[in-house]
Amino acid sequence: MQDIEALIADLVAANHILSAEHVVDAFGHISVRDPRDPKRFFLSRARAPELIEAGDIMEFNLQGEPIDGRGRQPYLERFIHGAIYEARPEIQSVVHNHSHNVIPFGVTGEKLYPIMHSCAGIGHEVPIWDIADKFGDTNMLVSNVAMGRDLAARLGTGATALMRGHGCVVAGRSIRHAVQIAVYLDLNAGLQMRAAALGKIKFLSKGEIDAVNGPGVGSERAWEYWCVRAGVPYRSAGTPGL
Ligand code: MN
């Protein structure tokens, strides 16, 4: 039980960090898979991430049904999370956000690629999912299991995907990993737009991306820094890695 409490505390911290780093605003969310049952995940009730407390965290099955709702209102787009956990057994944490810098890429079809070493976690390239391809005119929200699964299929085996006219998703091996990629996905998008205005970009090569993403990549230092910036207690993961 102690481990679950610590996991929930990290999930609450992650919500505050993503808000402090301007990856989410009133909207956007992060979840974590339940280590006791891989067919369940934890996600806040529908609330702005900066305001989330441990009592807001709900548990869902992979179809997005609450395990213990207690009258709490879930996020409409919880299906994003369940579908990615269903498709990707190795993924432990999922972020969905509408960060501003990613939007121009999703609507133009201009591909995002890692532009600097710390952004290598976004993957070799970032696919774009267009909800209209399969579902026609919608309110753009991933509001059922079928939509979630279609998005998860576009994500494929990668860490990130853009959602046309909406935002993006990030899939990580841990809460820390997903937060780090989400922060650097937005940074990469901003830098890529600025560099593109100057001239032709030399992105990281495939080998460089693989080398950065190899064993030993650690985000504990970043996690401690982000906790302090967000004003939430820092809890060591106990290992220097992810
Ligand atoms: Mn959304």
| Distance, CA of 242 to CA of 234 (rounded, Å) | 15
In degrees and rounded to multiples of 5, residue 73 shows phi and psi of -85, 120
Q: Encode 198-231: b = buried (16+ Cβ within 10 Å), e = exposed.
A: eeeeebbeeeebeebeeeeeebbebbeebbeebe
- How far, in Å, from the CA of 28 to the mean position of ligand 1? 6
Contact at 8 Å (CB) between 25 and 43? no
For residue 175, give its domain range: 2-230
Mean pLDDT to the nearest integer, 24-31? 98
Residue 237 lies in a domain: no
Residue 42 within a domain: yes
Domain count, the chain: 1
For residue 30, being part of any structural domain is answered with yes
* Residue 64 alpha carbon to ligand 1 centre in Å: 15
- Whether residue 145 lies inside any domain: the answer is yes
**Looking at residue 120, which CATH number applies to its domain?**
3.40.225.10
The Å distance, Cα 107 to ligand 1 centre, comes to 15
pLDDT in tens, 88-98: 999 999 999 99
Which residues carry out catalysis? Answer: 77
pLDDT of amino acid 219: 76
Instruction: Measure the CA dihedral 82/83/84/87, to 10°.
Output: 120
* Ligand 1 center–CA 106 separation, angstroms: 13
Q: Each residue of 111-159: pLDDT tens digit?
A: 999 999 999 999 999 999 999 999 999 999 999 999 999 999 999 999 9
Direct distance between the N- and C-terminal alpha carbons of the chain, in angstroms, rounded to an integer: 22
Identify whether 235 is part of a domain: no
pLDDT score for 96: 98
97 CA distance to ligand 1 middle (Å): 6
* Residue at 240 is within a domain: no
State the angle between helix axes of 2-20 and 220-230 in degrees (0 to 180), rounded to the nearest 10.
Answer: 70
CA of 161 to the centre of ligand 1 (A): 13
Measure the CA–CA gap between 120 and 116, rounded to whole angstroms: 7
Cβ of 149: how many Cβ atoms within 10 Å? 17
Q: Are 212 and 120 in contact (CB under 8 A)?
A: yes
- 239 belongs to a structural domain: no
Does residue 236 form part of some domain?
A: no
- Edge-to-edge, what's the strand order for the sheet holding 29-33? 57-61, 40-44, 29-33, 93-97, 167-172, 160-163, 128-129
